[in-house]
């Protein structure tokens, strides 16, 4: 199919509560949406970059600039286009995986809608719903944390992920275990906040039977994670370090991780995300779907991805209401701790025009 043009939208959505991680606190989600227009119809993509390069080197202004000036022009010049051609066509441009992922997602959505085929069918889904975990930020106090965790358990979430950082790690985990018991599926996410020298501290998490500790060390310290894995019992899961299927294969071979968090934006798209899934499955490594506080568009695609067979751990595929009072699509609502896998063509959801316009801060059209 021919790409007629692409609309870029900057969107700002308030969060229901500030979300604090080891790299900062967010009170709203500012993101970039991509609408690919073709003669056969249109498709939507969501860029998961943040407003500032705090999680990764990407950020919204850079993503918009590289899309507008390099990535979209390359696809406009390509003539006949399919989603599977996007990554090869953009390979000459280094990095910018989240920007590339958003563009590929929009082209894939347009293509699948035109063929009346869902993301789930295309990716290889084997389930019609997925078990959902929830990510809990760093709180001002332990009592506040316990209230929030209790609320999510009451809502039915099947797994709790606690953000940790030096000074907020062992004690919050201990108190959650004491209050809610040993049966709650519990894991922690450090977002690179520790060093190998913290191994003795991190080994104090071992008695709490955590599912995993996510990305304790910095993104590029793969060998450090392999060394840490010899010093703590809690399984190590990597997030920021896994930027491709190749990176996953290398990290697994080096013993740097026993579990992988797959985020399509971080690895360059949903097609590469499936390759990461396949590589991990080939090594017997469990995966789960990470979240980047997506709107219902990215959430729909993530739930489809999370329904592949290797996704054996609950992901950060929470309900829309975890972060947003009003989503820009029909909201995803938890049902007995699960979300249904969208079955409609493409993403299976579309933005509700009035709601999207309310949160749009700027628009740009690139194309004929």
Ligand X SMILES: O=C(O)CCC(=O)N[C@@H](C(=O)O)c1ccccc1
Residues that bind ligand X (CB under 6 A): 21, 50, 55, 135, 189, 191, 239, 290-293, 316, 318
Active site residue 163: yes
CB of 290 to ligand X, least distance (A): 5
The closest alpha carbon to 256, from 268, 244, 248, belongs to 248
CB of 366 to ligand X, least distance (A): 26
Between 42 and 58, name the residue whose CB sits nearer to ligand X: 58
User: Does residue 91 contact residue 41 with C-beta atoms inside 8 Å?
Assistant: no
Burial class (CB in 10 A: 0-12, 13-18, 19+), 309: exposed
The span from the CA of 365 to the CA of 116, in Å, is 26
CB-nearest residue to ligand X: 291
Q: Which of 100, 253, 263, 363 does the annotation list as catalytic?
A: 263
Between 36 and 349, name the residue whose CB sits nearer to ligand X: 349
User: Does residue 216 contact residue 236 with C-beta atoms inside 8 Å?
Assistant: yes
* DSSP letter string, 304-340: HHTTSTTB-S-BS---GGGT-SS-SSSPP--BTTEEE
Active site residue 230: no
CB of 75 to ligand X, least distance (A): 26
The closest alpha carbon to 327, from 362, 291, 289, 358, belongs to 358
CB of 135 to ligand X, least distance (A): 3
How remote is the C-alpha of 295 from its chain's centroid?
Answer: 11
In this structure, what DSSP letter does residue 208 have? G
User: Does residue 64 contact residue 365 with C-beta atoms inside 8 Å?
Assistant: no
Between 118 and 191, name the residue whose CB sits nearer to ligand X: 191
Q: Which of 163, 230, 253, 363 does the annotation list as catalytic?
A: 163
> Per DSSP, what are the bridge partners of residue 366?
6
For 45, the 3-state DSSP assignment is strand
Between 119 and 288, name the residue whose CB sits nearer to ligand X: 288
Between 111 and 214, name the residue whose CB sits nearer to ligand X: 214
CB of 316 to ligand X, least distance (A): 4
Residues designated catalytic? 163, 263
């Amino acid at each position: 199919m021919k790409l007629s043009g692409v609309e870029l939208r900057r969107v700002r959505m308030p969060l229901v509560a500030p979300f604090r991680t080891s790299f900062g606190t967010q009170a709203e989600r500012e993101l970039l949406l991509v609408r690919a227009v073709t003669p056969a119809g249109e498709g939507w993509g969501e860029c998961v970059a943040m407003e500032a390069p705090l999680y990764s080197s990407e950020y919204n202004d850079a993503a918009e600039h590289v899309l507008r000036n390099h990535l979209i022009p390359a696809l406009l010049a390509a003539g006949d286009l399919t989603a599977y051609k996007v990554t090869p066509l953009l390979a000459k441009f280094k990095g910018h995986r989240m920007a590339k992922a958003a563009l590929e997602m929009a082209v894939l959505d347009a293509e699948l809608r035109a063929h009346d085929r869902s993301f789930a069918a295309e990716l290889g889904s084997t389930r019609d719903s997925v078990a959902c975990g929830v990510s809990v930020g760093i709180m001002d106090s332990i009592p506040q944390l316990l209230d929030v965790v209790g609320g999510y358990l009451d809502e039915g979430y099947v797994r709790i992920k606690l953000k940790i950082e030096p000074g907020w790690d062992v004690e919050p985990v201990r108190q959650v275990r004491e209050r809610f018991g040993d049966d709650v599926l519990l894991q922690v996410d450090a977002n690179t906040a520790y060093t190998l020298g913290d191994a003795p501290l991190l080994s104090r998490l071992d008695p709490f039977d955590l599912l995993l500790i996510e990305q304790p060390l910095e993104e590029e310290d793969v060998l450090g994670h392999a060394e840490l894995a010899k010093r703590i019992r809690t399984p190590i899961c990597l997030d920021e370090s896994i930027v491709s299927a190749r990176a996953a294969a290398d990290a697994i071979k080096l013993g740097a991780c026993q579990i992988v968090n797959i985020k399509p934006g971080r690895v360059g798209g949903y097609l590469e995300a499936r390759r990461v899934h396949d590589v991990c499955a080939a090594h017997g490594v469990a995966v789960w779907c990470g979240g980047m506080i997506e709107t219902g568009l990215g959430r729909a695609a993530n739930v489809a991805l999370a329904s592949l067979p290797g996704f054996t751990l609950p992901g950060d595929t929470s309900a829309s209401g975890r972060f947003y009072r009003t989503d820009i699509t029909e909201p995803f609502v938890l049902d007995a701790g699960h979300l249904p896998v969208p079955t409609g063509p493409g993403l299976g959801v579309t933005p509700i025009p009035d709601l999207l316009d309310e949160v749009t801060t700027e628009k740009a059209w690139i194309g004929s």
